[in-house]
Amino acid sequence: MLIKHPTDIKSHEITEPSVYRDRRRFLQATSGAALAFAAGASGLLMPTEAAAGRKLDYRRNPQLSTDESPNSLKDITRYNNFYEFGTSKEDPAKSAHTLQTEPWTVRVEGEMEKPADYHLEDLIKSSQLEERIYRLRCVEAWSMVIPWVGIPLADLIKQFKPTSRAKFVEFTTLYDPEQMPGQRRAVLDWPYVEGLRMDEAMHPLTMLAVGLYGEVLPNQNGAPIRLVVPWKYGFKSIKSIVKIRFTETMPKTTWALAGPSEYGFYANVNPTLDHPRWSQAKERRIGEFLKRKTLMFNGYADEVAGLYAGMDLRRNF
């Protein structure tokens, strides 16, 4: 199946794509007995084809990609915000192997013509997958450049046929404390909910990601499907989505409820507005030592500033 993904990958097994491809060639040229001896003698785990990740069939979209170099696979998969698996940046890579991503169904409901449950396979097949290299800045003032593979959200919304009453799109994460141990603690009001205004959701830059580096998403990065909005803060990047709802009123989103003075609904990158507990003027790219200047709308001002014309982005944060 296109979206099959193992659930037992440990963080120490994650390697760069070029490295594990070389290992595959080595595996193919070596007998099983010799491999077992080599692995035992050296203490190295030789990844299987499944552990290395499954390839996705996609096309590259240079028009919607930055020309900056992506972060390494190690950076992207070992430094994550995913409170469902713990509040430390390292927790998701350690704990997310408990998440079962097959089968996966997304419920689509609300102000639309035909509410229904969609199998993830069907959603993927209904639209051409694209790879886009996006800058993503987190509210804690760190950033990464990630080669996402996903579906333009606008393509799916058109298929869902929302009515004229649909002004917002609400997304909900899976709630299952057995699979997501972080949900056993009341650090947030579970399940996690995030939302976009309809024109934000329909913008060409907005996508639902199902992979990175050309392969299916690792669990710690939001498998099997997550939201990516490159001009917004990291907490808009809701993961492991199980429900999409079209609403007439603004959704009550998780972080806006948890800290209304710190996390607003719009959550645009605005370096002129400091977070109550730190400055937004600079950010640190993961893997780099020095900080860099934070750009308005995360550098996507030319593409998205028109969405907020006339709005005071110091009040509507």
What tens digit of pLDDT does each residue of 12-25 get? 344 445 443 443 33
Q: Where are the domains of the chain?
A: 57-308
Q: What is the pLDDT of residue 56?
A: 95
Look at residue 141 and tell me whether its pLDDT is greater than 70. Answer: yes
DSSP notation for 96-133: GGG---SS-EEEEEESBSS-EEEEHHHHHHTS--EEEE
Least-confidence region, from 23-32, 71-80, 101-110, 130-139 = 23-32
pLDDT bracket for residue 278 (50, 70, 90) = confident
Prediction pTM value: 0.84
How far, in Å, CA of 172 to CA of 241, rounded? 6
94-117 average pLDDT score: 96
Q: What is the pLDDT of residue 205?
A: 98
- For residue 24, what are its two tokens? 């595959």
Residue range 57-308 in CATH 3.40.640.10: no
What confidence tens digit (pLDDT) does each residue in 169-217 have?
999 999 999 999 999 999 999 999 999 999 999 999 999 999 999 999 9
Look at residue 33 and tell me whether its pLDDT is greater than 70. Answer: no
How far, in Å, CA of 286 to CA of 249, rounded? 37
Q: Are 173 and 277 within 8 A, CB to CB?
A: no
Q: Determine how many CB atoms are found less than 10 A away from the CB of residue 233.
A: 25
Q: What is the pLDDT of residue 11?
A: 38
Distances 267 to 115, 128, 173, 261, 317 between C-alpha atoms, Å: 29, 29, 19, 12, 5
What confidence tens digit (pLDDT) does each residue in 219-271 have?
999 999 999 999 998 889 999 999 999 999 999 999 999 999 899 999 999 99
47-53 average pLDDT score: 38
51-80 average pLDDT score: 91
> With 0-12 CB in 10 A as exposed, 13-18 as middle and 19+ as buried, what is 103?
exposed
66-71 average pLDDT score: 96
Contacts of 308 (CB under 8 A, 6+ apart): 266, 268, 316
* Total residues belonging to the chain: 317
- The half-sphere exposure of 90 on its side-chain side, counting CA atoms within 13 A, is 2
Look at residue 85 and tell me whether its pLDDT is greater than 70. Answer: yes
What confidence tens digit (pLDDT) does each residue in 148-170 have?
999 999 999 999 999 999 999 99
Q: What is the pLDDT of residue 37?
A: 32
